[in-house]
Amino acid sequence: MDRRHFLFGIGALSAVIAARPALADASSRRILVVVELKGGNDGLNTVVPYADPLYRQYRPGIGVARDRVLQLDEHVGLHDKLAPLMESWKARDFAIVQGVGYPYPNRSHFRSIEIWDTASASSQTLSEGWVSHAFDGVSLPKGAGVDAIVVDTNSLPMMGSGLRTIVMQDAENFLKQAAAMKDAGDPRDDGNPALRHLLEVRHEVNAAAAGLRSQLRDGPAPAYAYGADNGFGRELDLATRLLLARVPVIAIKVALTGFDTHANQVPTQERLLGALADGLATFRKNLIAADLWKEVVVMSYSEFGRRARQNASGGTDHGTAAPQFILGGAIKGGLHGQYPSLADLQDGDLRHTVDFRNVYSTLARGCWGRPVDFGQRPARTLDLFA
């Protein structure tokens, strides 16, 4: 065996070893794939309350026509651009949590996404992300040297001292950049806290790169290709490769951008819903093919839904509650929670029926076995896991 083969063998072996802890307790350990819908997705035109006459009244121009609604029950249905997800719906591994929001909703993109990402109350500013918070006080196995991978740019849900989080839009580029920034053994920080922090972060990057390099090199390609025409497909492709390579992370985050539809909403939202459904349906097929679908949970979220009434520009302005999609082989499909009443608006906005922090605590428990209530006392658990 020449040196090159020998090294190759070691790499493959370490990948298998590193993957073990995640697989060994697969029943209690699932990887959460967070899908951020940036800009505030219009929930009313995603999960459509088609049977409610008020819906037509509020949205005379942009309402989804009855014959374009995929009926889920006698009240609501999906926009037909979401048709690729019907296979998952029929297989009962696609849950829709209706009316998710929080009290005293904030309508600023920046503030509201911060509230969602840190699981804070409306009036509270927290700096730690909710995924990171779920692991406070827990020491995680070293694994690949990384606990969470953010494939888009907003890493706030995973930020905090608890998690080693890497932001990486392009694995090849990340590994290249990291290779250009080598660790130099154990350099002294001379008691300078700023320098110590720098060296710790650099070590984190290098540890992650070392783990990922060996694992991604030998990881299989996804069985089904993603549409190449949008960034979302590319992000899901990388997420899939990380999962197929069995990189032992807690969470992966991707994002689909452009939902801030103040004007001429219909074509924009239809394109985005189509991309979302195509991407997630392909993702599901890939993980089923790799026998990993039971080990993964997908959660969509957006900073807010939109106002009940359309505006004068054929669009919708910033609103409040909206549905969340939860998918996975271990998920109990169907409609969860209650659709907000169109007859009981607050300042023209939907009143939330489910607090997002209860969704988070349900997922923290179901994915990672972490009992966290995110300040909701008593914490209400949703019946999301089969």
Partner 1 sequence: MTARLGRRGFVSGAVALPVALTAPSLSRAASAMGFDDARHLLSRTSFGGTPAEIQALEPLDFTAVVDRMLSRSRTLASAPAPGWVDEAPSFVRQQREAAARKEADGKPVNVVAQLIREQGRELRCWWVEEMLVTDQPLVEKMTLFWHNHFTSSVQKVRYVPSLYRQNVLFRREALGNFATLLKAVARDPAMLIYLDGVRNVARQPNENFARELLELFTLGEGHYSEADIKNAARAFTGWSIDRDTGQFLDRMQQHDNGEKTFLGQTGAFNGDDIIAILLRQPRTAETIVEKLWREFVSLTPDRAEIGRLAGIFRSSNYEMKPLLRAMFLSPAFRDPGNRGALIKSPVELIVGTAHLLGLPVPEKTPLVRMMAGLGQSLFDPPNVKGWPGGESWITTNTLLLRQQFLRRMIEASTVSSLDGNMAMAPNRRAERRQQVGPDQAMANMRPVEGRSLRDAGYEARLGPTLLGVDTGRLVRTLLPHKPIDAVDTTGLSAGAVVAAALLDPAYQLK
Q: Would you tell me which residues interact with partner 1 (CB under 8 A)?
A: 108, 110-111, 114, 125, 150, 155, 159, 164-167, 169-170, 173-174, 176-178, 180-182, 184, 187, 190-195, 197-199, 201-202, 204-205, 208, 234, 262-264, 312-315
DSSP 308-366: SS--TTSS--B---EEEEEEETTB--EEES-PPPSSS-BTTBPPPSEEHHHHHHHHHHH
Least separation in angstroms between CB 83 and partner 1? 27
Least separation in angstroms between CB 127 and partner 1? 8
- Kindly tell me which of 93 and 114 has the beta carbon lying closer to partner 1: 114
Least separation in angstroms between CB 186 and partner 1? 11
Residues 6+ apart with CB under 8 A from 368: 28, 29, 30, 32, 134, 135, 250
Based on the number of CB atoms within 10 Å of its own CB, is 161 exposed (0-12), middle (13-18) or buried (19 or more)?
Answer: exposed
Let me know: does 41 contact 302? Beta carbons within 8 Å.
yes
Whole-number Å distance between alpha carbons of 339 and 354: 9
Q: What pairs with residue 257 in β-bridges?
A: 38
User: Which residue type sits at 216?
Assistant: L
Least separation in angstroms between CB 242 and partner 1? 16
- Kindly tell me which of 194 and 343 has the beta carbon lying closer to partner 1: 194
Least separation in angstroms between CB 165 and partner 1? 7
Least separation in angstroms between CB 180 and partner 1? 7
Question: Which sign does the torsion angle of CA 100, 353, 103, 148 carry?
Answer: negative
Let me know: does 41 contact 323? Beta carbons within 8 Å.
no
- Kindly tell me which of 315 and 319 has the beta carbon lying closer to partner 1: 315
How many other CB atoms are there within 10 angstroms of residue 158's CB atom?
Answer: 29
- Kindly tell me which of 204 and 270 has the beta carbon lying closer to partner 1: 204
- Kindly tell me which of 207 and 372 has the beta carbon lying closer to partner 1: 207
Residues 6+ apart with CB under 8 A from 17: none
Question: Which sign does the torsion angle of CA 120, 126, 128, 133 carry?
Answer: negative
Residue identified by tokens 């090849």 is 172
- Kindly tell me which of 56 and 111 has the beta carbon lying closer to partner 1: 111
CA distances from 239 to 158, 176, 234, 247 (A): 16, 18, 9, 10
- Kindly tell me which of 71 and 264 has the beta carbon lying closer to partner 1: 264
Least separation in angstroms between CB 315 and partner 1? 8
Cis (ω within 30 of 0) for the bond into 193?
A: no
Least separation in angstroms between CB 148 and partner 1? 11
Least separation in angstroms between CB 2 and partner 1? 28
Least separation in angstroms between CB 177 and partner 1? 5
Helix (H) or strand (E) holding 268: helix 265-289
- Kindly tell me which of 87 and 200 has the beta carbon lying closer to partner 1: 200
Residues 6+ apart with CB under 8 A from 337: 97, 98, 99, 100, 353, 354, 382
- Kindly tell me which of 268 and 341 has the beta carbon lying closer to partner 1: 268
- Kindly tell me which of 71 and 173 has the beta carbon lying closer to partner 1: 173
Let me know: does 342 contact 308? Beta carbons within 8 Å.
yes
